[in-house]
Amino acid sequence: MDLAIVGLERAGKTTLFNALSGGQVETSRYGATPTHIGTAHIPDDRLQALAEHVHARKITPVEVKYWDIPGAGFSKSGAAPQLLAALGQADAFLHVVRAFQREDVAHPLVNVDPARDIEAMDAEIAFADLSLIEKRLQKLTTEVRAARSSEREAGQRELTLLEKIKDGLERNIPLRRQSLNDSEKRALATYSLLTGKPVLIVLNVGEEAADRIDVIQAEYDERFAQSDSRVVAICAKLEMELAELPLEEAEEFRPQVGLKESGVAAVMQASQELLNLITFYTAGEQDTRAWMVPEGTTALQAAGKIHSDIEHGFIRAEVINWQALINSGTIAEARKKGLVGVQGKSYIVNDGDTVNILFNV
């Protein structure tokens, strides 16, 4: 899972990045910083329990990659090409919105106003898409004019589609909210348009509001959440400080500053839900591993995620829920009880499945 952290200048992006990835990027030198890339493992109790159960020598959790995109680089004058490439790769955006007040940290639009900033960033992202579409339209128009009539049709179809998307964007409808059929979606895939990506709004509240975070989140979620966007409220500064502490100390410190649960965990959880991702497991003695795939993934696709050879040689999958496996003791016991499903290529993998794929080499 690749998540790009975006937002206006000094919204707290690098602070959140440090909290999420355990990074130590200096946050007092904000502004004009380069893009940072960091990774984090998704904590997973089910994986730990499974690994212990099979005495695994190695545990491999799911990795998330975070991109910290500087606010200043993403302006109306047009985002830099390498920045657009990084944004295009992301599965979703974490849009950091400033809700904390601080005299010594100037806000690029003077006062703190989260609702305005959410719209401002949406407009910048839409602007990036519009300029890309306009460039492509210009080029395509010339090409279509010059093309032989037999070759004109495909170009014309693309022109019509791009005009339609552009029209929507100009009416403030991001691509993800425009209705497209499957062939239109396929035609657009190569563009990696930014407004097509799901957005998690991360409302960055001040430390003094830490004990009211759930109330603030509910309020904003009601106003701004849609099927393809959600709101999580956190205090990035406190989360960053907590991330620097050993786990036990962090647990102790958290309630003292008014926080009930981990903001980092909340952001991870919400990102997974937004992207409709599920986790399945392979419980090997060598390596017990968690895999993250989109909901609706088939056993064959899951095999491909593990290794292309396993996909090509797929015979069948043995599937058992992780908890059922642990409760049964051994896989042989589970088989006796009829708890291990023997599944074919088109089986839809469930969250929490432990999957063993039998294959030919």
List interacting residues with Mg ion (CB under 5 A): 13-14, 30, 33
| Measured distance CA(298)–CA(360) in Å, rounded | 18
At 29, phi and psi to the nearest 5? Answer: -105, 50
Helix, strand, coil content of the chain in percent (nearest 5): 45, 20, 30
Q: What are residue 280's DSSP bridge partners? A: 291
Least Cβ distance, residue 17 to Mg ion (angstroms): 7
- Looking at the Cβ atoms of 9 and 311, the one nearer to ligand GTP is 9
Is the distance from CB of 280 to CB of 291 less than 8 angstroms?
Answer: yes
Of the candidates 329, 358, 330, 324, the one whose C-alpha atom is nearest the C-alpha of residue 342 is 358
Distances (CA, A) of 43 to 21, 85, 148, 170: 12, 29, 57, 41
Can you give the binding site for ligand GTP, defined by CB under 6 A?
7, 9-15, 27-28, 30-31, 33, 70-72, 100, 102, 105, 204, 206-207, 235-237
- Residue 10 binds which of ligand GTP, Mg ion, none (CB < 5-8 A, kind-dependent): ligand GTP
Give the residue closest to ligand GTP by C-beta. 71
- Looking at the Cβ atoms of 9 and 124, the one nearer to ligand GTP is 9
- Residue 235 binds which of ligand GTP, Mg ion, none (CB < 5-8 A, kind-dependent): ligand GTP
Cα radius of gyration rounded to whole Å, the chain = 23
Least Cβ distance, residue 197 to ligand GTP (angstroms): 19
Least Cβ distance, residue 39 to ligand GTP (angstroms): 18
Least Cβ distance, residue 96 to ligand GTP (angstroms): 6
Continuous H helices in the chain: 13-21, 45-53, 81-89, 114-146, 152-170, 182-189, 213-224, 236-243, 247-256, 263-274, 299-306, 308-312, 322-328, 331-336
- Residue 77 binds which of ligand GTP, Mg ion, none (CB < 5-8 A, kind-dependent): none
| Measured distance CA(338)–CA(320) in Å, rounded | 10
Least Cβ distance, residue 36 to Mg ion (angstroms): 8
- Residue 15 binds which of Mg ion, ligand GTP, none (CB < 5-8 A, kind-dependent): ligand GTP
Least Cβ distance, residue 129 to ligand GTP (angstroms): 21
- Looking at the Cβ atoms of 188 and 236, the one nearer to ligand GTP is 236
- Looking at the Cβ atoms of 106 and 342, the one nearer to ligand GTP is 106
SS (HEC) of 346-361: CCECCCCEEEEEEECC
Least Cβ distance, residue 109 to ligand GTP (angstroms): 13
| Measured distance CA(199)–CA(216) in Å, rounded | 18
- Looking at the Cβ atoms of 14 and 262, the one nearer to Mg ion is 14
- Residue 179 binds which of ligand GTP, Mg ion, none (CB < 5-8 A, kind-dependent): none
